[in-house]
Amino acid sequence: MRDFHDTTAVNIVERPDGVKIASWFIVTIIITSMISRVMRSTELRVQAVEPDEMALRFIREAASTPVRIIANRPDTGLPEEYEYKLREASESHHLPGERVLFLEIRPGDVSEFSGILRVQGVDVSGHHVLRCVSAAIPNAIAALLLYIRDETGRIPHAYFGWTEGNPIAYLLKFLALGEGDTAPVTREVLRQTEENPLRRPRIHVG
């Protein structure tokens, strides 16, 4: 067995063409996969949005004024979480004293590139929260904003906070896990999906 391994090692050293070809083949596959992933990262992906009864009621009630949505990273789910987020967003974006919707999206299976976005409405001590699960968070936010626009006839406004950290690292995290620096990717998905800027949901970052 040792002689066999020694012979194989000698052949690899003396005739490395096979290793070079295999390595080139592997590198080509990796690069092609990465390019495909990048190109698909700003596709809408979501085929349909299906809110439950409470979520649909929240959306329709919000349409009595300009629809304002605060993106919230899911945490405790307690009322204090939403009160703090509302104060933070109000200070950063100078929001008027109108009712807002909170939007929470948990990352799902990253292998799913399309499907139906099911939205659950939850009332947390008077705070109206829309919750769903998606493989790509920015794409799901974009799909929901477009749905709200079409359902209510109003252009929704979505509010985000700046993400602290290296933007390159967040880009790689988004490509690998479907989450990262959400606001700019959401805006790009909307830009590619809706050509008319006047009909495009508004993205605010502060």
pLDDT of residue 4: 44
Give Cα 74 to chain centroid, integer Å.
Answer: 13
Architecture in CATH for domain 45-205: 3-Layer(aba) Sandwich (3.40)
Residue 147's nearest CA partner among 77, 44, 73 is: 44
Tokens of 205: 């970052």
Q: How far apart are the first and last CA of the chain?
A: 65
pLDDT at 36: 46
Of 98, 109, 50, the residue nearest 70 (C-alpha): 98
% of the chain beyond a pLDDT of 70: 68
Query: Which pLDDT score, from 0 to 100, does residue 112 have?
Result: 61
Question: In this predicted structure, what is the pLDDT of residue 173?
Answer: 53
Query: pLDDT tens digits for 75-119?
Result: 888 999 999 999 999 988 888 877 899 999 998 776 665 589 999
Handedness of CA 161, 165, 166, 169 (dihedral sign): negative
The token pair at 192 is 């590619």
Phi, psi values for residue 127, rounded to 5°: -85, 125
Q: Is 163 helix (H, G, I), strand (E, B) or coil?
A: coil
Every domain of the chain and the residues it spans: 2-38, 45-205
pLDDT of residue 46: 84
For the chain, what is the mean pLDDT? Answer: 80
pLDDT in tens, 112-169: 655 899 999 999 999 999 999 998 889 999 999 999 999 999 999 999 987 665 555 5
Split at pLDDT 50, 70, 90, the class of 28 is low
Secondary structure of the chain: what % helix, strand, coil (to 5)? 50, 20, 30
pLDDT at 181: 73
